[in-house]
Structure 1
Amino acid sequence: MKNTKPIYTIGHRNPDTDSICSAIGYAHLKQALGQNVVPARAGKVNAETKYALEYFKVEQPLLLTDLYPRVKDITMDCKIVVKQHDTLRHLGEVMREHELKSVPVTDSKGLLVGIVTVSDLAKRYFQELSMQNLSEMRVRYRDIIAATDSEVLVAGDEGAFIEGSVRIAAGSIETIKKVIDKKDIVLVGDRHDETMIDIVKQGVSCMIITGSGRVCAEVLEMAEKQNTFVLSTPYDTYTIARLINQCVPIRRIMHADPVCFKPLDMLSDIKGAMEETNYRNYPVIENGRLVGIISRDNMVMPEREQVILVDHNERGQAVEGIEEAKIVEIIDHHRLGGIQTSEPIYTHAEPVGCTATIVANMHWQNDVEIPASIAGLLLSAILSDTVLFKSPTCTEYDKKTAERLAEIAGVDINEYGMAMLKAGSGIGDMTPVEIAKNDLKEFQIGDYRIIVSQISVMDPKEVMDLEPQMIEAMTNICEKEGFDMSLVMVTDILEEATYLLYAGSPKTLIGEAFKKDASGTHVYLPGVMSRKKQIIPPLSEAVKRIAN
């Protein structure tokens, strides 16, 4: 399989079993056909779906809370970094070799501590009008040895920090003695042996012989007695003076605490920070560690996420930011809900009870074998959506598909189906708000923005006992999120009936749709189990009648 950006197959928000299992099943089919498709989910997994996933030992799909472009989508690899104790010479070599304008700086543990730019180096260049006080810069002898390409003639503690200043041995020995102090570093060109010995006797810490000058044995012996470094470099004195200035550690000129971003930061949120700072590059970090870099020159819109929608086709039900993504396919069993695409796409919709029915048969049509675990999940979706074949949405096609899947999965349909439905039927410790949003779907019906949630239970009394709290929660949802009405279907699996709770307005819509007295907060609908077939169509027709 090619290492391309994945395509996500994802169901609707507040996902049900079909939404999750069909996403997993369709991703399996696509992967078998050689495509890099990853299953995802747009919300929390409910108890029923959790039971199915655990029963067939399949992990929950990736959670995608939105599809807005993020920093990770434009992050570039950053394999070139420098350490804070590296020298400016090393930095210059790195920048020149790799043609970089800026380089992140890390500490010995690999944590980001700063960033350094070519302009920082240029600024430093113009400051090189005199020898720098290397003691203040905390430069080590090993830095000088490396920067000047020196051969060590008399060794010392290379890791020690330099304590004195850098001097050039110019003029007579008397002049030189007046200039140099103990612990200084002295650059010596073509000088007599006696002059070198006198310099060492002054207690200097290091003598650098420039131009690969000759050094007699007597000088070296004296240096060893005085614990004086003696270095020999091929460069002339002027060049060495400049190179020593480049021994300063990078941390002395870097931007400490640089403006950084995290991989999951949204691009829309970081534009302000980039405009304020106007840097060329920004590090991307995760847990303090550098994971990449983004360039302001690359702040064009990244390649959009590609998604396959399963079990829905309405923008209001899709994951947040769907308008920023590229929809490449739709696999569904609902009404067409008006999602627009920029170009023709593959759409597979059938009037069956479950998306998983379509997904399973697409496997067989493509001669792709369905593993037992995937078969079990697709079966779970069918049993959930058709409520063990009791829903009016159920077709013979669903039943035959389920029987074939059950054989592959090695389970008894009724026994497993009842266990799964029971696992998802109790409200447990769900709050009224959580119940009101369970398996929530949004619909635009005429001029009304309506949400319809559904919870299937063995004993509806445990939900109906919370009716006052439920209505309060539903009313708050409408007011805070701008919906006209909130409906909750409390579906009795055993009695094959639904208590329909409603809040918002117009209540006359409920009375008109179901020919019931809607003056209260719920109506009882015997034989009603399907949102798709028995709730939405009557509401749609009622809106038309009210409008006329």
Structure 2
Amino acid sequence: MNLSNAIDERDFWEVESTYVIGHQRPDTDAVAAALGYAWYLTATGAENTTAARAGQLAAQTSFALARFGCPPPILLNGVAPLFAHIAEPQKALTADAPLSEAMAQLAQGRRVVPILDDDQKPLGVVTAIALARAYSALIHHPERAKEIEAQSCREVLEDSPHFRAKERISDNRAALLRGASDDFLVTDDAGHYLGVANRSQVVAPPRARLILVDHNELGQAITGANEAEIISVLDHHRLGNAPTSNPIPFVVEPVGSTCTLIAERCRSAQLNPPASIAGVLLSGILSDTLVFRSPTTTPRDREIAQWLAGLANVNTEDYGNELLRVTPGLMARTIEDIVDSDRKSYEMAGHKVSIGQVEITNLQELPQRRDDLLSGLEERRQREGLALIGLMVTDVVTGTSHLLGSGEPPLLRALPFHRLSEGEWGLDSIVSRKKQLIPALSDAVESAF
């Protein structure tokens, strides 16, 4: 069986690939940036570059992809090294196979020979030491050579640890390194043998290669990013980057969208992306800037958006308003979807904070979902050990927002916003989480503790 077929494709990353990937709970900018940057890198000579995403598509993102006929990035659940990444397929024998067959494999340089039952499940291994013990009788009885070679592998079978292909190596590394076995077997979920791995591979497994777009904080990155090799970052948010073992290209610029930075690179290289990529990049800009109404908007966003609109053959204002109207209202969505679909984690003065944002076209729906949303926020705060969790509800038509939140009392008292009711604050014209809300919350956390 192919090792990559033994587990869900969403859990298996390819060692040969470099993944361009946005943050967890991806918004339109994160997905569009992954697609656009992967296209640009491939067009400029990069090999095996793949656009990926770290979560399900939002309704707005799905609309944009369908509108321009662009397939979504592949979905990855995580990028930690798995036993599937180090297992090497190796011929196995049955327990009744003669020792001569095991000896032939060991003579070819194999460290162990896997022994399986009739259902292709591991029984153990034959090692060179086990064979040496069996053949030690020849010292005094050389005439027994044929007899010993005809013995079954069952006679010298030794136990060997085995692990499922989809298990994370890091979850088992300490126990493996303390154990006596240098080699172990890898199976699928049903226990069927897949391959052999060894201790040295556990110490230094292959690592996924990542290019982070639209984020630079590990708290927002795909699961397992701390075990991956981050080779570059392209972003437009505050700095909160993880340390890397080597210097890397790290670009963070104050524009309204990561897609702006990618489109500028395309234009500078005199590369016109196809209409599908141009349209998706334009969607990322229009979404993140709320069709240029957000205070994060810069002249660079407006200029490059017009260039992309020409390539995609759309009117920027008309398409932008159409894009914003796609997001379903609060009544049509589950609490989980509203709270988690665009939620980001932050470290503020040593405290864990998580802030989501949902864009709607009518704030009058909020009172009907308010209590359920507050309950959902509190449940997540307790489960994740957060000092503060909030949901920014933004009306993209009127350009106003409310904040629902749950947190430690000193922090809630320090919030510099107009309190409307228990757990709800009016944010007036604040519409940008990145540029307006997060700096204010960061100051509040600093002053509260």
Task: State the TM-score, normalized to the length of structure 2.
Answer: 0.84
Comparing 38-47 with 384-393, which one deviates more in the overlay? 38-47
**Are the counterparts in 2 of residues 89 and 243 from structure 1 also a CA contact under 8 Å?**
no
Taking the TM superposition and a 5 Å limit, the aligned residue runs for 1:164-175 are none
What is residue 413 of structure 2 aligned with on the other side? 508
What is residue 115 of structure 1 aligned with on the other side? 125
Task: Specify which of 48, 60, 63 is matched with residue 72 of structure 2.
Answer: 60
Q: Does 2:95 match 1:50?
A: no
> Would you say how many aligned residue pairs link Structure 1 and Structure 2?
432
Q: Does 2:443 match 1:538?
A: no
CA distance in 1 between partners of 2:184 and 2:227 (Å): 24
Taking the TM superposition and a 5 Å limit, the aligned residue runs for 1:227-376 are 242-251=145-154, 253-254=156-157, 259-271=161-173, 274=176, 278-286=180-188, 288-376=191-279
Shift of 1:340: 3.3
Taking the TM superposition and a 5 Å limit, the aligned residue runs for 1:69-88 are 69-73=81-85, 75-84=86-95, 86-88=97-99
Structure 2 residues without counterparts, runs of 5 or longer:
1-13
**Are the counterparts in 2 of residues 103 and 116 from structure 1 also a CA contact under 8 Å?**
yes
Pair 345,271 (structure 1): closer, same or farther in 2 beyond 3 Å: closer
Show CA shifts across 1:485-516 (max 9, x none): 21111111222211221221322322x2x3x2
Task: Specify which of 422, 435, 438 is matched with residue 520 of structure 1.
Answer: 422
CA distance in 2 between partners of 1:341 and 1:100 (Å): 36
Shift of 1:545: 6.2
Structure 1 residue identity aligned to 2:184: Y
RMSD across aligned C-alpha pairs, in angstroms?
3.2
Pair 428,521 (structure 1): closer, same or farther in 2 beyond 3 Å: closer
**Are the counterparts in 1 of residues 295 and 432 from structure 2 also a CA contact under 8 Å?**
yes
Pair 503,103 (structure 1): closer, same or farther in 2 beyond 3 Å: same
**Are the counterparts in 2 of residues 508 and 518 from structure 1 also a CA contact under 8 Å?**
no
Task: Specify which of 36, 49, 60 is matched with residue 25 of structure 1.
Answer: 36
**Are the counterparts in 2 of residues 332 and 349 from structure 1 also a CA contact under 8 Å?**
yes
Structure 2 residue identity aligned to 1:262: R
Structure 1 residues without counterparts, runs of 5 or longer:
132-237
Shift of 1:59: 3.8
**Are the counterparts in 2 of residues 375 and 405 from structure 1 also a CA contact under 8 Å?**
yes
Task: Specify which of 309, 324, 328 is matched with residue 406 of structure 1.
Answer: 309
Taking the TM superposition and a 5 Å limit, the aligned residue runs for 1:102-501 are 102-106=112-116, 114-125=124-135, 242-251=145-154, 253-254=156-157, 259-271=161-173, 274=176, 278-286=180-188, 288-427=191-330, 430-446=333-349, 448-501=351-404
Structure 2 residue identity aligned to 1:13: Q
Indicate the SS of the match to 2:223: coil
**Are the counterparts in 1 of residues 344 and 355 from structure 2 also a CA contact under 8 Å?**
yes
Indicate the SS of the match to 1:470: helix
CA distance in 1 between partners of 2:63 and 2:152 (Å): 59
Pair 44,408 (structure 1): closer, same or farther in 2 beyond 3 Å: same
Shift of 1:77: 2.7
CA distance in 2 between partners of 1:332 and 1:353 (Å): 10
Structure 1 residue identity aligned to 2:422: G
Structure 2 residue identity aligned to 1:49: T
Q: Does 2:18 match 1:7?
A: yes
Structure 1 residue identity aligned to 2:303: K
Show CA shifts across 1:305-349 (max 9, x none): 332221112233223343333322111111223543344321222
Show CA shifts across 1:338-395 (max 9, x none): 5433443212222111001111111222333412222222112112111222222122
Shift of 1:414: 4.2
| Rg larger in structure | 1
What is residue 161 of structure 1 aligned with on the other side? none
**Are the counterparts in 1 of residues 330 and 369 from structure 2 also a CA contact under 8 Å?**
no
Comparing 292-301 with 412-421, which one deviates more in the overlay? 412-421
CA distance in 2 between partners of 1:384 and 1:334 (Å): 15
